[in-house]
Structure 1
Amino acid sequence: MTRETDSAPPPPLKILVDADACPVREECVRVALRHGVPIIFISNSFMRIEDDPLVGREIVPGNFDAADDRIVELTTTASVIVTADILLAERCIKAKASAVIGPTGKPFTEASIGMAVATRSIMADLRAGGSVVGGPAPFSRQDRSRFLSALDLALVRHKRAG
C-alpha cells in the first residue's frame, strides 16, 4: 500500500529571488535561462525584469517582511533561494529549500546558518550600542563570479539528485 505522498510527483525546480536590493538579478536570469529553470523575483516594489516566459515577478504589498513571508510560503524542496537576508535564509533552510545562496556566492546551509545568525545578532547589538562597525565589503567582480558558479552548481546538484 502506497501513501498518497509517495505517488505525488516532486515539485518542479525553481529559483526564488529576494529581489529588493539584489545586486545579481541579471546573473540569476542568465543562469535560469541557460538551465531552463523558472525564476520568480519577489519584492515589495516594481522592478523591470527580463521579458521571458521563465521569468516571473511577484510584487508583495504590505509590511517590510511581506516579501520574505511570500518567499518562505513558496519554498519547496525544489527551490533554490537567492537572498542576502540571513534571517530569511534561516527560514528557507527550515522550509527545506534545495539550496540557499547569498549574492556573493556564499551558500547558507544547516551547518553554517547558526553562526551567521549569531554574528548578525552580535553586529546588531554593537550598532545599537553605538559602536561604529563597518558594513559589508563593496560588491566585487569576484563576488559576482562566485555567485554565478554557486547558482549554477546548486541547479546542477539538484538536477542530478532529481
Structure 2
Amino acid sequence: MKILIDADGCPVVDLTIKIGKEYNLDVIIVKNYAHEIEDNYATVVTVDLSPDSADYYIVNKSEKNDIVITQDYGLAAMALSKGAVCINQNGLIISSENIDQLLTRRHFNQELRRKHKVYSKIKKRDSQADIQFEKNLKLLIQKLI
C-alpha cells in the first residue's frame, strides 16, 4: 500500500507525509513543473504542464488498496476502477457508492458556469477540514492494513 498525492494545489501534502511516516507508508507526491515541493521522506515526481499529466501518472502507478488523495473526481473514478481508495483534501472518502453522484454534481456545476455564468463562492479552508482529513485518512489506512 502506498499513498499517491495529486499535489497541484493540494493543501494537505505536509499532513499526508506526516501520517505516511507514522504508518511507515510510501508517499508519492505528483506535481507539475509549476510547483516547488521537496521532501526528504516522500518521493516527488514532476510531470509536464499538460492538463491531465499528473492524473494519468497517478492512475498508471496506482494499484489495489493504494490511497489516492485528490479533489479531482475524474481522477478518483479512474483510480477507483483500479481498486485504489480515494479521499479528498477535506476528508471526504470517495467510493464506488458516491462517485456517480459526485461526477453528476461536477457536470451540473460546469454547465451552470458555462451556460449561465453562475459561480459559487468557495468557502475558505479552515482547520476543521484538516482535522477531518487526518481522521478519515487514518481510518482508511487502518482499514487497509
Same fold (TM over 0.5): yes
Q: Give the C-alpha shift of residue 61 in structure 1.
A: 1.7
The RMSD of aligned alpha carbons is 1.1
Aligned to 2:50: 63
Q: What SS does structure 2 have at the residue aligned with 1:129?
A: helix
- 1:99-118 to structure 2, matched below 5 A, reads 99-118=85-104
Deviation at 1:69, TM superposition (A): 0.3
Deviation at 1:75, TM superposition (A): 0.8
Letter in 2 for 1:17: I
d(CA) in 2 for partners of 1:118, 1:136: 19
State how far apart, in whole Å, the 2-side matches of 1:136 and 1:73 are: 31
Q: Quick one: which amino acid aligns to residue 50 of structure 1?
A: D
CA displacement at 1:91 relative to structure 2? 0.9
Report if the CA contact (8 A) 1:41-1:57 is conserved: yes
Instruction: State percent identity of aligned pairs.
Output: 23
Match of 1:37 among 15, 25, 42: 25
How do residues 17-56 of structure 1 correspond to structure 2 at under 5 angstroms?
17-45=5-33, 46-52=35-41, 55-56=42-43
Do the aligned residues in 2 keep the contact of 1:82 with 1:102 (CA within 8 Å)?
yes
What CA distance in whole angstroms lies between the structure 1 residues aligned with 2:59 and 2:118?
33
Instruction: Name which of 99, 122, 138 aligns with 2:124.
Output: 138
Matched with 1:155 is 141
CA positional deviation for 1:49: 2.6
Q: Select the structure of larger CA radius of gyration.
A: 1
In structure 2, C-alpha distance between the alignment counterparts of 1:43 and 1:24, rounded to whole Å: 13
In 2: Cα distance, 1:49 partner to 1:144 partner: 21
In 2, are the aligned partners of 1:44 and 1:64 still within 8 Å (CA)?
no
Distance in 1 separating the partners of 2:49 and 2:119: 31
Q: Which residue of 2 aligns with 1:77?
A: 64
Deviation, structure 1 residue 62 = 4.8
Give the corresponding residue for 1:15. Answer: 3
CA distance in 1, matches of 2:90, 2:5: 14
Gaps of 5+ in 1: 1-12
- Structure 2 unmatched ranges of 5 or more: none
Q: Deviation above 4 Å: which 4+ runs of structure 1?
A: none
Shift of 1:32: 0.2
Cα distance between partner residues in 1 of 2:130 and 2:18:
12
